[in-house]
């Protein structure tokens, strides 16, 4: 069986769907669940990442540092991850304080045509021996070849993985196959995939991504995410494991958490 790393952005992408109002008590509770269920990576924060809380983008209920400290306190085994868009976040104001809070993984994200904007942030984190991944958002808007070129730029800067986001939720399985295969063939670092469920294909597309070499798959409890939502965590785990992929996650605990959220009719 091949190993798949599940990264759970319920507390970040899901924040979009509640206008960035997830409470510290909900963060505490969910992190305790995720850590107990052995989810490898938990991503937290404003929907648009570090430094994004503003009147223009949307005010968070709590500041970044309080969110990160709460998550860090309750994640004993799972890695703590943050989303960071250069220009919205800065190294001195946002990245350094997040490092001090104990963030394990920084996902430096740009529009799919603007990988060059990630240079300063990726190089800074790499120099300081902090795990850093590159993220290409809205990746359906460019050709497969250009996506490969943009991913290679992030790899050159020092990204230890590149995640492509189907932010528009418009990928067909054939698109995922083509793009993941091209990235696997042309990059020497791990590839990840972040699906949205606009066409009801998030689980199928995530499985295809894994079958063609992606080893990081994003998934949220009950699909809790922006727009039409993300890949549901409670669905992708059994689908992956029935197709000879190992996640290491306690599925019984995940399905209980999903059922509890459905029964209450309100995630977070």
State the catalytic residues.
Answer: 16
CA dist 49 and 11 (Å) reads 11
Torsion angle of alpha carbons 130, 68, 13, 261, nearest 10°?
130
CA dist 166 and 211 (Å) reads 17
CA dist 121 and 190 (Å) reads 19
- Note the Cα 33 to chain centre separation in Å: 18
Beta 2-3 vs 162-165: how paired, if at all?
unpaired
CA dist 128 and 248 (Å) reads 29
CB 78 within 8 A of CB 38: yes
Beta bridge partners of 84: 108
Residue matched to tokens 């809790």: 224
CA dist 65 and 24 (Å) reads 11
């Amino acid at each position: 069986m091949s190993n798949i790393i599940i990264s759970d952005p319920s507390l970040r992408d899901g924040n979009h769907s509640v206008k960035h109002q997830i409470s510290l008590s909900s963060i505490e509770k969910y992190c305790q669940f995720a850590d107990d269920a052995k989810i490898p990576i938990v991503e937290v924060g404003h929907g648009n990442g570090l430094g994004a809380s503003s009147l223009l983008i949307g005010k968070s209920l709590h500041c970044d540092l309080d969110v990160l400290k709460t998550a860090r306190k309750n994640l004993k085994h799972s890695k703590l991850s943050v989303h960071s868009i250069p220009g919205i976040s800065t190294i001195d104001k946002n990245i350094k304080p997040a490092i001090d809070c104990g963030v394990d993984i920084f996902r430096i994200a740009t529009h799919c045509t603007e990988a060059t904007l990630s240079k300063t942030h990726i190089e800074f984190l790499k120099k300081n021996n902090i795990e850093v991944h590159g993220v290409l958002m809205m990746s359906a808007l460019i050709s497969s070849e250009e996506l490969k070129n943009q991913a290679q730029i992030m790899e050159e800067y020092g990204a230890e993985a590149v995640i492509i986001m189907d932010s528009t939720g418009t990928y067909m399985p054939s698109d995922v196959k083509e793009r993941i295969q091209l990235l696997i063939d042309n990059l020497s670092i791990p590839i990840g995939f972040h699906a949205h469920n606009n066409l009801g294909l998030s689980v199928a597309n995530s499985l295809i991504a894994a079958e063609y070499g992606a080893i990081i798959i994003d998934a949220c409890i009950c699909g809790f995410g922006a727009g039409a939502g993300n890949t549901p965590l409670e669905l992708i785990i059994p689908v992956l494991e029935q197709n000879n992929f190992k996640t290491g996650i306690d599925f019984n605990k995940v399905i209980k958490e999903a059922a509890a959220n459905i029964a209450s009719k309100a995630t977070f």
